[in-house]
């Protein structure tokens, strides 16, 4: 009997033990879960002209992809995740539609959004949500039916011929409040379901806003306002002399008037949303630098390059003004990066084209203009654009360069973001008629030569490289199909740059992981491989070239 009692007692103690152990484990898990799942808010920090986008408290680079316009639906997303995995992107930009979220006035449906967030979280992807609300490409197609069917209550703009057009008036408080109400409901909901996880890292209220079809609203109300003085606050922020819109802005008066009212409208919506959940927010531009160069032929009143100052003054709740760039000419691409990457504006390119040219251009954006992110548009094949080939092979080709970029760049994000804005990061890429290029660093110049691999016909322009100067004699090279030769600076007293070491490797949690040393043939050729490679190079300036192992074209 005492034996039985002892057994019961022991069993009870074991139960307690197991019980407390289990309790402890649960507690640990909960604590860990809490810690891991309550990271700090995503934030854009700008200091002395350097912009850093923080996610989970760490500098982040959006290596993104954007869905086609009608693809933000579960049926399409479910088929797209595998493609996204192949792309190696870290962020998905997806539309969220006012018409879908508030199909009846005041009745919200977040089922699609919930599934999107859960699925993205499962995939380890972050989300940038594109609010297709009052404005989408200078039109108002995405407003719910109860808005579309009721233009008396939700007024539209009027063009110069007196015709009402499919663009909501940005002067109407009714329009603005209706949009803001839906947007804030969505932001509140995101906070509820995602605050612990931060799957959603940024929001774009509206999409390429402005008015397509007219340079300004010609309604009676708008024309009356247009004749009045430019608001004093705007005039003073722009350091201009007071006057009417025409006096202050001359030939750009109609566009400036539209931009101001559009900026105020969107800012109201963004700030209302931020009160619910303060995620960073940006507005993207349909650029004016194209053949639709006249206001109204591109959406008038969007954050085009000539309207950036107005947006900065009138929309303080907007963290940055982004630029959609589809230009295939690298000079135009770079010019736009220069215009939007300003001390007061972080460069973000939420839409680019696909294909190898854009894979090269992403290097410029990140390396030369300190972009906080890039993304090709139209990642999924589920669209109705008759001009865009949709078969898998074509799609794979279009994304292959970008997938390779992302695979190579992702582990280097801590390095890239630490060098951005310091002058120690530069990009270079092969372009039509550009056979080589010389980059300048503190102690060395770097000659880059393109045209590789030589066996590939037809030759695609795949050469692209990011160069980070990580010490006086140390560099990181990240790229493809580019031959590199370091030369000591003229006047340095050295004739040659000798390789002390050339390590191939990658980064893990910001720490360099060597895979192998490059020497012999690899150093003789000194050419970044077609698959892409990351090299850490240590140099020494020499007066004679006795032990020189630098590549030499004469050999
Ligand atoms: C720019 C828009 O912002 C996108 O939503 C999409 O319509 C693309 N143009 C199509 O090229």
Distance from the alpha carbon of residue 137 to the mean position of ligand 1, in angstroms: 7
Distance from the alpha carbon of residue 274 to the mean position of ligand 1, in angstroms: 25
Strand partners, 215: none
Domain that holds residue 373: 61-421
Residues 6+ apart with CB under 8 A from 266: 135, 205, 206, 209, 283, 315, 318
Residue 555 has pLDDT above 60, yes or no: no
Q: Does 324 fall in a domain?
A: yes
Q: 80: Cβ below 6 Å to ligand 1?
A: no
Q: 71: Cβ below 6 Å to ligand 1?
A: no
Q: 215: Cβ below 6 Å to ligand 1?
A: no
Q: 363: Cβ below 6 Å to ligand 1?
A: no
Q: 351: Cβ below 6 Å to ligand 1?
A: yes
DSSP, collapsed to helix, strand or coil, labels residue 434 as strand
Q: 206: Cβ below 6 Å to ligand 1?
A: no
pLDDT on residue 2: 44
Distance from the alpha carbon of residue 154 to the mean position of ligand 1, in angstroms: 25
Question: Do residues 341 and 269 share a domain?
Answer: yes
Distance from the alpha carbon of residue 68 to the mean position of ligand 1, in angstroms: 8
pLDDT on residue 445: 97
Instruction: Specify the CATH number for the domain of residue 513.
Output: 2.60.220.20
Question: Do residues 435 and 404 share a domain?
Answer: no
Question: Do residues 401 and 528 share a domain?
Answer: no
**How far is Cα 61 from Cα 90, in angstroms, rounded to an integer?**
9
**How far is Cα 279 from Cα 275, in angstroms, rounded to an integer?**
10
**Closest Cα partner for 128 from 279, 323, 330?**
279
Distance from the alpha carbon of residue 306 to the mean position of ligand 1, in angstroms: 20
pLDDT on residue 520: 96
Domain end point (choices 366, 400, 421): 421
Domain end point (choices 421, 448, 472): 421
Distance from the alpha carbon of residue 389 to the mean position of ligand 1, in angstroms: 17
Q: What is the torsion angle, in degrees rounded to the nearest 10, for the CA atoms of residue 177, residue 181, residue 186 and residue 188?
A: 120
Q: Does 343 fall in a domain?
A: yes
Distance from the alpha carbon of residue 45 to the mean position of ligand 1, in angstroms: 28
Question: Do residues 456 and 357 share a domain?
Answer: no
Question: Do residues 220 and 240 share a domain?
Answer: yes
Atom 2 of ligand 1 has which residue's CA nearest to it?
Answer: 137
Q: Helices (H), strands (E): how many in the chain?
A: 16, 22
pLDDT on residue 390: 76
pLDDT on residue 543: 83
Q: Does 221 fall in a domain?
A: yes
Question: Do residues 442 and 381 share a domain?
Answer: no
pLDDT on residue 31: 35
Question: Do residues 367 and 477 share a domain?
Answer: no
Q: Does 47 fall in a domain?
A: no
Question: Do residues 180 and 248 share a domain?
Answer: yes
Domain end point (choices 375, 399, 421): 421
Average pLDDT on 25-31 reads 33
Atom 6 of ligand 1 has which residue's CA nearest to it?
Answer: 69
Distance from the Cα of residue 412 to its chain's centroid? 16
Task: Answer yes or no: are the C-beta atoms of 191 and 200 closer than 8 Å.
Answer: no
Q: Give backbone dihedrals phi and psi of 465, rounded to 5 degrees, phi first.
A: -150, 145
Q: Does 190 fall in a domain?
A: yes
Residue 16 has pLDDT above 90, yes or no: no
pLDDT on residue 549: 53
pLDDT in tens, 243-285: 999 999 999 999 999 999 999 999 999 999 999 999 999 999 9
Distance from the alpha carbon of residue 97 to the mean position of ligand 1, in angstroms: 15
Q: Which atom of ligand 1 is nearest to the CA of 326?
A: 11
Residue 496: which pLDDT band, with cuts at 50, 70 and 90? very high
Q: Does 450 fall in a domain?
A: yes
Distance from the alpha carbon of residue 512 to the mean position of ligand 1, in angstroms: 39
Q: 137: Cβ below 6 Å to ligand 1?
A: yes
Higher-confidence residue of 551 and 34: namely 551
Q: Say what the pTM is.
A: 0.91
* Residue 52: C-alpha distances to residues 240, 421, 468, 470 (Å): 31, 9, 17, 19
pLDDT on residue 518: 98
Distance from the alpha carbon of residue 373 to the mean position of ligand 1, in angstroms: 17
Within 10 angstroms of residue 333's Cβ, the number of other Cβ atoms is: 25
pLDDT in tens, 102-120: 999 999 999 999 999 999 9
Distance from the alpha carbon of residue 93 to the mean position of ligand 1, in angstroms: 12
Q: 377: Cβ below 6 Å to ligand 1?
A: yes
Q: 93: Cβ below 6 Å to ligand 1?
A: no
Atom 5 of ligand 1 has which residue's CA nearest to it?
Answer: 69
pLDDT on residue 396: 82
pLDDT on residue 32: 37
Q: Best substitution site from 93, 141, 351 to test ligand 1's pocket, by max atoms within 8 Å of Cβ?
A: 351
Q: 207: Cβ below 6 Å to ligand 1?
A: yes
Secondary structure (DSSP) of 284-295: EE--SSSS--SB
Atom 4 of ligand 1 has which residue's CA nearest to it?
Answer: 69
Domain total of the chain: 2
Distance from the alpha carbon of residue 441 to the mean position of ligand 1, in angstroms: 38
Question: Do residues 446 and 348 share a domain?
Answer: no
Average pLDDT on 212-222 reads 98
Question: Do residues 329 and 352 share a domain?
Answer: yes
Average pLDDT on 57-79 reads 97
Question: Do residues 392 and 442 share a domain?
Answer: no
Instruction: Specify the CATH number for the domain of residue 264.
Output: 3.20.20.80
Relative orientation angle of helices 356-368 and 392-409, to the nearest 10 degrees: 20
Question: Do residues 380 and 488 share a domain?
Answer: no
Q: Which atom of ligand 1 is nearest to the CA of 207?
A: 3
Q: Does 489 fall in a domain?
A: yes
Distance from the alpha carbon of residue 470 to the mean position of ligand 1, in angstroms: 38
Relative orientation angle of helices 392-409 and 74-87, to the nearest 10 degrees: 60
Q: 208: Cβ below 6 Å to ligand 1?
A: yes
Atom 8 of ligand 1 has which residue's CA nearest to it?
Answer: 377
Secondary structure (DSSP) of 143-198: S-HHHHT-TTTS-EEE-TTS-EEEEE-TT-HHHHHHHHHHHHHHHHHHHHHHTTT-
Q: Does 360 fall in a domain?
A: yes
pLDDT in tens, 326-337: 999 999 999 999
């Amino acid at each position: 009997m005492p034996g039985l009692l002892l057994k019961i007692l022991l069993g009870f103690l074991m139960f307690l033990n197991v019980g407390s152990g289990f309790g402890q484990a649960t507690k640990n898990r909960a604590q860990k879960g809490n810690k891991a799942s309550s990271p700090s808010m995503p934030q854009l920090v700008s200091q002395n002209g350097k912009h850093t986008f923080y996610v989970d408290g760490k500098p982040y680079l959006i290596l993104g992809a954007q869905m086609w316009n009608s693809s933000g639906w579960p049926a399409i997303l479910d088929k797209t995740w595998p493609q996204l995995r192949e792309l190696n992107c870290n962020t998905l930009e997806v539309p969220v539609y006012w018409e879908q979220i508030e199909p009846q006035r005041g009745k919200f449906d977040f089922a699609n959004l919930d599934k999107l967030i859960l699925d993205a979280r499962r995939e380890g992807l972050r989300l940038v949500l594109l609010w297709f609300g009052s404005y989408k490409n200078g039109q108002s197609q995405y407003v719910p039916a109860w808005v579309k069917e009721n233009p008396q209550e939700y007024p539209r703009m009027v063009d110069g011929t007196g015709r009402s057009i499919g663009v909501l008036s940005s002067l109407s408080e009714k329009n603005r409040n209706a949009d803001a109400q839906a947007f804030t409901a969505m932001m509140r909901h995101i906070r509820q379901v995602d605050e612990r996880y931060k799957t959603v890292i940024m929001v774009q209220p509206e999409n390429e806003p402005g008015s397509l079809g007219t340079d300004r609203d010609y309604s009676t109300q708008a024309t009356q306002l247009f004749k009045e003085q430019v608001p004093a606050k705007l005039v003073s922020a722009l350091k201009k002399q007071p006057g009417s819109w025409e006096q202050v802005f001359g030939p750009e008066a109609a566009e400036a008037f539209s931009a101001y009212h559009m900026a105020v409208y969107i800012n109201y919506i963004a700030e209302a949303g931020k009160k619910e959940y303060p995620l960073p927010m940006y507005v993207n531009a349909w650029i004016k630098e194209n053949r639709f160069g006249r206001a109204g032929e591109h959406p008038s009143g969007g954050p085009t390059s000539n309207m950036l100052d107005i947006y900065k003054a009138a929309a303080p709740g907007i963290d940055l003004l982004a630029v959609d760039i589809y230009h295939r000419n690298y000079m135009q691409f770079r010019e736009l990066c220069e215009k939007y990457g300003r001390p007061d504006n972080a460069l973000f390119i939420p839409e680019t084209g696909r294909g190898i040219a854009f894979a090269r251009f992403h290097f410029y954006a990140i390396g030369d203009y300190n972009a906080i992110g890039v993304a090709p548009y139209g990642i999924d094949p589920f669209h109705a654009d008759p001009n865009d080939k949709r078969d898998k092979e074509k799609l794979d080709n279009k994304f292959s360069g970008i997938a390779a970029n992302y695979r190579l760049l992702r582990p280097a994000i801590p390095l890239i973001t630490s060098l951005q804005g310091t002058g120690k990061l530069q990009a270079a890429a092969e372009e039509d008629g550009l056979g080589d290029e010389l980059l300048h660093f503190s102690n060395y110049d770097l000659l880059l030569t393109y045209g590789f691999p030589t066996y590939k016909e037809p030759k695609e322009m795949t050469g692209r490289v990011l160069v980070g100067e990580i010490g006086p004699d140390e560099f990181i090279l990240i790229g493809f199909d580019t031959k590199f030769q370091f030369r000591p600076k003229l006047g340095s007293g050295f004739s040659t740059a000798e390789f002390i070491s050339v390590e191939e490797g990658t980064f893990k949690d910001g720490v360099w992981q060597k895979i192998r040393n490059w020497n012999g043939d690899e150093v003789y050729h000194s050419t970044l491989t077609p698959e892409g490679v990351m090299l850490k190079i240590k140099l020494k300036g020499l007066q004679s070239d006795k032990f020189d192992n630098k590549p030499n074209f004469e050999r």
